[in-house]
Structure 1
Amino acid sequence: MEIKSVVNALAALAQESRLAVFRLLVQTGPEGLSAGKISETLGIPPSSLSFHMKELAHAGLVSSRQESRYVIYSANFRTMNDLLGFLTENCCGGKPCVPTDLPEQEHSS
């Protein structure tokens, strides 16, 4: 995955509504959801949702298709997996990563 694509995807996800939409579409799976159902589920006004979907589509994170009079949006799982792969490509210096329980750090005020 090219750096410019990674930056675009991360920028698109770095907004609360778009992150919520993307997570909902990932949970829904390849069948996707209509714009109306996304709007209703997340409480995002249709005019705002349209803007957010455009940003996610521009970053390659979602795709849309027309079904009758509805626009159905789906997460682009290939882009998602490519992004995750890019972010973890050199994880743990190439050694298998083993989760460890780290003690929580206390925050001083």
Structure 2
Amino acid sequence: MTEAKQSMTEEQIQKEMGRLFKKPRRPPNRPDEALRRLIKSVAHHGEPLSWPEGFYEQLQHVAGLQIEAATEEAQAEDYRARAKDEFEEAGVIEIPSTAPVSISDEGAFVQAWLWVGAQD
């Protein structure tokens, strides 16, 4: 840990955090894009002295999780679309656009609504 980090009081750290994270100049499109921009900025300009030890590494980890989640959602959307094309039949089998998808290496389970009529 550098001397500058050690010499800051908790109040100074809070003040610096407030200064760094004021109202954004331009709002990010998505959280994952904001994380990418922040990581690129830190890689270029260096880590602020007010950040706690390991904070940058935590940001990198969170960015990786965001990218992973976005990739999984894109795959889920693809499986939903394919399931709709292959199996959906209005009033019999319906697949909502928010249907849960369980993805494996061999394919995916896509949750669907199946109509079952009353017994006669």
TM interval, short-chain normalised: under 0.3
TM-score by length of 2: 0.22
Structure with higher Rg: it is 2
Question: Counting strand residues as a fraction of each chain, which structure ranks higher?
Answer: 1
